[in-house]
Amino acid sequence: MAIDWDRRTCARKGHVTYAPDDPRLRIRLHADTALGEVWRCLRCGDFVLGDPHGSGPAAEAPLVPRGKVLRDLFVLRFLAVERAVRGVFIVLVAVAVWKFSNSQDAVRRLFEEYLDVLRPVFKHFHYDLDHSPVVGTIQKTFGYKHSTLLLVAGLLLAYALVEIIEAVGLWYAKRWAEYLTVVATAAFLPLEIYELTEHISALKITTLVLNILAVLYIAVTKRLFGLRGGRRAFDEERRSASLLEVEESAGVLV
């Protein structure tokens, strides 16, 4: 991918500079120019004019996500937004089901009245409303018990809550949220596949593909369940990608 996440982030949030105490390391990040002092940005690597944003031992330098680690953060935030939107939508559906459960009879009466008015009109066009599949489906929902509808609304709400918790956790790159997303999403995959056997739609296929990719992507890149060395390897990767670490090992080699 040609997108330079480091420079993009720096353009949006500004550079991050740091003056390490270790003079061998310091010299690799610092230069004096005709315009004044410049320090290397820990994210994009550019030299930035002005005082460093922080200073101290190299070990206490901020761990700035960059490169692949930063790209993964962007992907997670995209998934977070997708989940938040889905969560809010499902809450709305749950509220609609709950409202419908409370006024089922009133809605049914209104529907029957409309049906009585429309029946002759449709008859004129040789369309029998009483044998229409759409009308049949709607009439079937009137037959659902109040308790069944409440249960459906409750389950939808619980599902929406999981999606919203996932969204918040993924946004802040919390490891528990990555586990929750992988487990909860994978748990619903069989249901989504079953749904497809009932009725195929573009939205369902897109959702299924996105969810399978999300599960694989998070599990592999975040090294969940001990994959590819697990947590330790993940932390190692984050640290070794940091510019200070890169310069430090370069300094040792020179």
Binding site for Zn ion (CB under 5 A): 10, 15, 41, 43-44
Shortest distance, position 29 Cβ to Zn ion, whole Å: 12
User: Judged by CB, which is closer to Zn ion: 166, or 247?
Assistant: 247
User: Judged by CB, which is closer to Zn ion: 38, or 41?
Assistant: 41
Shortest distance, position 39 Cβ to Zn ion, whole Å: 10
Shortest distance, position 43 Cβ to Zn ion, whole Å: 4
User: Judged by CB, which is closer to Zn ion: 8, or 232?
Assistant: 8
User: Judged by CB, which is closer to Zn ion: 48, or 182?
Assistant: 48
User: Judged by CB, which is closer to Zn ion: 44, or 70?
Assistant: 44
3-state secondary structure the chain: CCCCHHHHHHHHHCCCCCEECCHHHHHHHEEEECCEEEEECCCCCCEEECCCCCEECHHHCCCCCCCHHHHHHHHHHHHHHHHHHHHHHHHHHHHHHHHHHHCHHHHHHHHHHHHHHHHHHHHHCCCCHHHCHHHHHHHHHHCCCHHHHHHHHHHHHHHHHHHHHHHHHHHCCCHHHHHHHHHHHHHHHHHHHHHHHHCCCHHHHHHHHHHHHHHHHHHHHCCHHHHHHHHHHHHHHHHHCCHHHHHHHHHHHC
Shortest distance, position 55 Cβ to Zn ion, whole Å: 17
